[in-house]
């Protein structure tokens, strides 16, 4: 895959305060997630999420485990939320600059996207008059 020189440069920068060139977060250590990592390696069907994790999330948010939906990425989570909440011709406010899928996803669901600016001269704080 050929990246633009800017993307290649950005992906190599590691000592910066805010890295907007990569997505995700560092992978956690397995021991940080479970007391015994062998438990998640058991040959069990986890298609709908690892049961102890789903139960823990449900308890944390005081919902039933069947109300917890595991997703594999923030982009998929955004897609799921838009599919659940948006109807054609709904209006969605999206800041500028913004992560591009936050603009294209509502359009995919036939919603109208209205943008508002976050300007450098305002320290990127939104101006309520523009929203």
Checking 57-65 for CB contacts under 8 A at 24+ apart, the result is none
Q: Which residue has the tokens 């989570």?
A: 77
Q: Within a domain: residue 10?
A: no
Q: Within a domain: residue 88?
A: yes
Domain check: are 60 and 78 in the same one?
A: no
- Report the b/e string of 49-79 with b at 16+ CB within 10 A: ebeebbeebeeeeeeeeeebeeeeeeeeebb
Domain check: are 55 and 86 in the same one?
A: no
Domain check: are 94 and 66 in the same one?
A: no
Domain check: are 54 and 95 in the same one?
A: no
DSSP E strand stretches across 37-111: 91-96
From 18, 46, 70, the end of a domain falls on 70
User: What is the total count of domains within the chain?
Assistant: 2
This prediction's pTM = 0.57
Domain that holds residue 84: 73-131
Per residue of the chain (131 residues), give pLDDT as tens.
454 565 666 666 667 776 666 666 667 777 777 777 776 666 566 677 888 888 999 999 999 998 998 887 888 899 999 999 999 999 999 988 888 899 999 999 999 999 998 888 888 888 888 78
Say if CB 7 and CB 21 are below 8 A apart.
yes
């Amino acid at each position: 895959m050929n990246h633009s020189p800017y993307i290649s440069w950005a992906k190599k920068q590691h000592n910066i305060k805010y890295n907007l060139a990569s997505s995700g977060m560092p992978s956690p250590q397995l021991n940080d997630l479970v007391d015994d990592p062998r438990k998640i390696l058991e040959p069990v069907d986890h298609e709908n999420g690892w049961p102890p994790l789903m139960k823990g999330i449900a308890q944390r948010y005081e919902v039933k485990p069947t109300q917890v939906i595991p997703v594999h990425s923030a982009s998929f989570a955004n897609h799921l939320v838009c599919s659940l909440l948006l109807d054609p011709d709904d209006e969605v406010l999206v800041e500028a600059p913004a992560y591009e899928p936050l603009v294209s996803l509502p359009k995919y669901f036939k919603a109208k996207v209205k943008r508002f600016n976050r300007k450098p001269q305002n320290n990127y704080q939104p101006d309520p008059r523009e929203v």
